[in-house]
Copies of this chain bind each other. A is one copy, B any other.
Amino acid sequence: MKTRVAVNGYGTIGKRVADAVARQPDLELVGVTKTHPSYEARHAHDKGYALYLSGEGKASEFEAAGVPVAGRIEDLLTKVDVVVDAAPDKVGKENRKLYDAAGVRAIFQGGEKKDVAEASFNALGNYEACRGKRTLRVVSCNTTGLARAAAVLRSRWGVDNWEATLVRRAADPAESKKGPINGILPTFQLPSHHGPDVQTIFPDLSIQTTAVVVPTTLMHVHVNHVRLTRAPASVAEVLTTFRTTPRFHLFAPWEHVTGTPEAMEFARDRGLGLNDMMENVIWEEGVKLESRDLYFFQAIHQESIVVPENIDAIRAMFDLAPSGPASMAITDKALGLSAA
């Protein structure tokens, strides 16, 4: 019997998680929620997803739009084993009361504070520690990207210290009201909250992060300088290690991927998800090794990178796979991500 899943909030993350759940062999997507009708609600309906009302949503408004609803979130919760909360930042905490009342397990996103759940989750980072939890929080897109890379580097060479500057996209592609149009906005919190957030996965990692916001919608870019414990033999060894780890995608120089525009064009050509790039993007040219000092760029697709992690979080919670790598293999095969 499949584990029954609800997705509360059918927006940027929620719609992708719903699609991903629907593709898994061991999960069943029971329904999704939406507060107001929109082109996204129309799609959910066209795909045959059962649509439920969340928040102040009104059935009449949906009916007028020709998008019928099957009930309210409370109804949906009676039919599932777990809910993936993909509500806007900070709303998840409020939603938790509903989930607790219904007695369903819950997975939250990184926009919530860490105490919203028993543990924070990253598939490569701490799958084992999250087994059997009733509530989990999948860390944010930037934190997921850092945690994945940290998992690789720590296990192979050890990490003495990590400095990362996060060059953040200011808005998602469909957000037409957010700026800036022309300018750079520093994040005055120094170091930024991303470092401590990575430490929810790796408590003993020495990491300092800083951040700026720039006028683009495609991806974040991380600029990393890592002091490793042991020196890798060569850049080639580092590249091979990333290449053979799930959820990393490397671009070779001959591919002429000069930045995030071409990286996302690759994703369009590939056609997974909503033309998504669920892997950390590494440019081979953008990796430099000086003894134990490793410099590298990575690009993070803010809309999709946490999608496979949400799936693995469900498996960890219900102990549906023998190990993290086993869960990732199932997830990635279902999503069409290439085997590492």
Size bracket of the A interface: 35 or more
- A181 with B191, Cβ < 8 A, contacts A38-B254, A39-B251, A210-B225 known: no
Q: A221 touches which one: B65, B184, B256, B274 (CB < 8 A)?
A: B184
The reply to whether B260 and A183 contact each other, CB–CB distance below 8 Å, is yes
The answer to whether A179 touches B176, judged by C-beta atoms less than 8 angstroms apart, is yes
CA distance A266 to B5 in the complex (A): 24
Alpha-carbon separation in the docked complex, A43 to B271 (Å): 11
Nearest chain B CB to A50's CB is how many angstroms away? 17
A288 touches B191 (CB 8 A): yes
Stretch at the interface among A21-29, A68-76, A162-170, A239-247: A162-170
Question: A223–B212 contact, CB under 8 A?
Answer: yes
In the docked arrangement, what's the CA distance between A213 and B215, Å?
A: 11
B-side contacts of A39, CB under 8 Å: 251, 255-257, 262, 265-266, 269
* This chain's copy number in the assembly: 4
Question: Complex Cα distance A297/B183, Å?
Answer: 14
Annotate A283-299 by CB proximity to B: 1 below 8 A, 0 otherwise: 10111100000011101
What chain B residues lie within 8 Å of A225 (beta carbons)?
Answer: 163, 208, 210
Decide yes or no whether A134 CB sits under 8 A from chain B. no
The reply to whether A269 and B43 contact each other, CB–CB distance below 8 Å, is yes
Chain B contacts of A254 at CB under 8 A? 37-38, 61, 64-65
Which residues of A approach B to under 8 Å, CB–CB? 15, 36-40, 42-43, 61, 64-65, 163, 165, 167, 169-171, 173-186, 188, 190-191, 208, 210, 212-221, 223, 225, 251-252, 254-262, 264-266, 268-271, 274-275, 283, 285-288, 295-297, 299
